[in-house]
């Protein structure tokens, strides 16, 4: 849509205001943020628009709208969906061959699985290949409790982190500051990186990976700013 405002300010309650008028989410809630840091970052997205407002260039605003409109109302469903990843976490499925990739996965993934156990009391089992690894109910329940303890803002960012990486453990590690978003993305793509080293880079695949990495970075930034 055409840009209809001149000034963007942060008002009371860390709300976003265009020419002094409050911005509202698609569901009609005031776009009010939990911290000034996040409010200022979102205000910059609005200030950065040209003659037209392009929502695709405002990822933090999109996440904030989701947090305000969906996270509370659909919290039980969101937690359930994310907890489902615990039963099939990427870090639990190691390669069958070659040995160099298996060793790389073990060296880089095992410390995160140990972290999940030490931090959340969730000891996840691992296997090789695509055969399903049945996880203990206690481990799944522990990770579900970790999700339930998160605020709506963190939970919203965690949806993106988990979906892109395929790993609830990696997502929780980013939310806790154990990993950066870039580190989590690299860990989630050990197999792809190995194949690239062996066969070279496909340009389309490189572009897709870059887009996913940017989306993951935004989700990590969103969580951090919401807590600042």
Per-residue pLDDT of the chain (228 residues; tens, 9 = 90+): 899 999 999 999 999 999 999 999 999 999 999 999 999 999 999 999 999 999 999 999 999 999 999 999 999 999 999 999 999 999 999 999 999 999 999 999 999 999 999 999 999 999 999 899 999 999 999 999 999 999 999 999 999 999 999 999 999 999 999 999 999 999 999 999 999 999 998 899 999 999 999 999 999 999 999 997
Q: Using CA atoms in the order 4, 6, 7, 8, what is the torsion angle rounded to 10 degrees?
A: 40
Q: What does the pLDDT read at residue 192? A: 95
Q: Tell me, what's the pLDDT at 201? A: 83
Q: How far apart are CA 56 and CA 163, in angstroms?
A: 19
Task: Say what the pLDDT of residue 32 is.
Answer: 97
Give the pLDDT of residue 59.
98
The number of angstroms, rounded, from the C-alpha of 224 to the middle of its chain's C-alpha atoms is: 11
Is 209 found in the same domain as 103? yes
The pLDDT, as a whole number, for residue 165 is 98
User: What is the CATH number for 42?
Assistant: 3.30.2180.10
3: in domain:
no
In a domain, 54, yes or no: yes
Same-domain pairing of 23 and 121:
no
Q: Examine the domain organization and report whether 115 and 30 are in the same domain.
A: no
Q: Examine the domain organization and report whether 26 and 108 are in the same domain.
A: no
Specify the number of domains making up the chain.
2
**pLDDT computed for residue 21 by the predictor:** 96
Task: State whether 179 and 94 are in the same domain.
Answer: yes
Per-residue b or e along 23-54, where b marks 16 or more CB atoms closer than 10 Å to that residue's CB: bebeeeeebbbbeeebbebbbebbeebeeebe
Which pLDDT value is given to residue 120?
98
For position 65, what pLDDT does the model report?
A: 98
Are 129 and 17 within one domain? no
- State the residue range of the domain holding 212: 75-227
On whether both 79 and 54 belong to a single domain, the answer is: no
At 3, is the secondary structure helix, strand, or coil? coil
Same domain for 122 and 197?
yes
Give the CATH number of the domain where residue 101 resides.
Answer: 1.10.3580.10
Residues 216 and 148 reside in one and the same domain: yes
The reply to whether 155 and 219 lie within a common domain is: yes
pLDDT of 228 reads 79
Same domain, 156 and 114: yes
What pLDDT, on the 0 to 100 scale, is given for residue 74? 96
Instruction: Tell me if 146 is assigned to some domain.
Output: yes
């Amino acid at each position: 849509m055409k840009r209809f405002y001149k000034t963007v300010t942060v008002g009371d309650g860390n709300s976003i205001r265009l020419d002094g008028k409050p911005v509202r989410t698609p569901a009609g809630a005031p776009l009010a943020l939990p911290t000034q840091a996040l409010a200022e970052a979102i205000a910059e997205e609005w200030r950065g628009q040209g003659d037209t407002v392009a929502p695709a260039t405002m990822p933090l605003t999109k996440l904030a709208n989701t947090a305000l409109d969906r996270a509370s109302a659909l919290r039980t469903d969101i937690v359930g969906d994310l907890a489902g990843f615990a039963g099939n976490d990427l870090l639990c499925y190691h390669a069958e061959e070659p040995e160099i990739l298996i060793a790389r996965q073990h060296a880089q993934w095992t410390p995160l699985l140990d972290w999940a156990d030490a931090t959340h009391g969730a000891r996840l089992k691992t296997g090789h290949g695509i055969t399903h690894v049945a996880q203990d109910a206690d481990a799944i329940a522990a990770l579900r409790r970790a999700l339930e303890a998160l605020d709506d803002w963190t939970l919203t960012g965690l949806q993106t982190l988990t979906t892109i990486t395929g790993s609830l453990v990696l997502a929780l590690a980013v939310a806790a500051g154990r990993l950066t978003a870039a580190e989590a993305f690299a860990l989630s793509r050990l197999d792809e990186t190995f194949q690239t080293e062996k066969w070279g880079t496909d340009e389309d695949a490189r572009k897709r990976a870059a887009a996913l990495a940017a989306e993951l970075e935004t989700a990590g930034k969103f969580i951090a700013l919401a807590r600042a």
